Amino acid sequence: PTVDLSNNVVTATLPTGESAQVHLFGATVTSWKTSDGKERLFLSTAADLTGKKPIRGGVPIVFPVFGPPPKDHETSQLPQHGFARNNTWEFMGKSSSESTDSKSDDSVKLDFGLSSSMLPEDTKNKWPYEFGLVYSVTLSKSTLKVQLQVQNKGEKPFDFQCLFHTYFTVNDISQTTVSGLEGTQYIDKVQKAQTFTEKHDALPIEGETDRVYTTPALPPIVVKEGGKETLVITRDSLPDVTVWNGWVDKIAGMGDFEPKDGWKRYLCIEPGFVSSWTKLEAGEAWEGSTVAEAKL
Ligand code: BG6
């Protein structure tokens, strides 16, 4: 595998043609291509890549709070989705495995770090905890794995939420369904945050969708297009999954989302731990990960 860092973007390529790109800003994965050349992540053509605002598309990291921070919480002064997606991370290096008999098992892991000492004073004051994040992105044949380790490096406990805000590309949202959620509970943000139980075996996306599913049994989430499996998403220690598509009007109102009909060609499936707070004691670490497998 080859790994190149230039202009604050890390690009990894496998001998069989798969590739991934990660911007140090937010450690945001902005591209994941499979060997057939197909781009599996959606990135807005108007995404700001200059470090002024979170990157619209790819896999922004949500930490330490999901959504607008609650008023009566330690995160209340932080921006929506926290600060991990809008600060610059460091590239900590790569490790790769190369198979001897066949090239097909090659993989490469890229590690990124963000710690309290790297944050601007202003952000540190808003959330005064000492932490270390290690984010690992592993590219293998047909899969992309992302893993976050959260370390409490201070002397007091803190509460956090985290989530991988993954924008997948789909050919046509009207032909796309999501399976694996049947029988699980979700909060529907489009319907006044009421709680429902999912009835669909294969959930169609037919309008603005913004739901947080809680799935303690961690079922695989399967995306189908025209009835054919295109993605299988598995998870470790991430019991929640947000399913989000802004549809016509929400996307029309987002200045950094282009093209405007892009709502037809993306679906966010966001594994995370956001329905409650995870408490991390001084000196402790927590780890969560998810693997997306593209069906070729
Ligand atoms: C989703 C939320 O995770 O992110 C949505 O559930 C939100 O409510 C969307 O609109 C995009 O958020 P942002 O902050 O990147 O515009």
Summarize the annotated binding site for substrate as residue ranges: 56, 80, 85
Query: Could you give the percent of the chain with pLDDT greater than 90?
Result: 96
Question: DSSP assignment of 22-45, as one string?
Answer: EETBTTEEEEEE-TT--B-B-B-T
Asked if residue 165 has its Cβ within 6 Å of ligand 1, the reply is yes
Whether the predicted pLDDT of 290 surpasses 70:
yes
Catalytic site residues?
Answer: 165, 270
Range of the structural domain that residue 31 is part of = 2-294
Asked if residue 86 has its Cβ within 6 Å of ligand 1, the reply is no
d(CA 253, CA 217): 36
pLDDT at 283: 98
Whether the predicted pLDDT of 103 surpasses 90:
no
Residue nearest to atom 10 of ligand 1 (CA): 246
> 144 CA distance to ligand 1 centroid (A)?
22
CATH of residue 201's domain is 2.70.98.10
| Domains in the chain, number | 1
> 168 CA distance to ligand 1 centroid (A)?
14
pTM above 0.95, yes or no: yes
The string of pLDDT tens digits covering residues 25-40 is 999 999 999 999 999 9
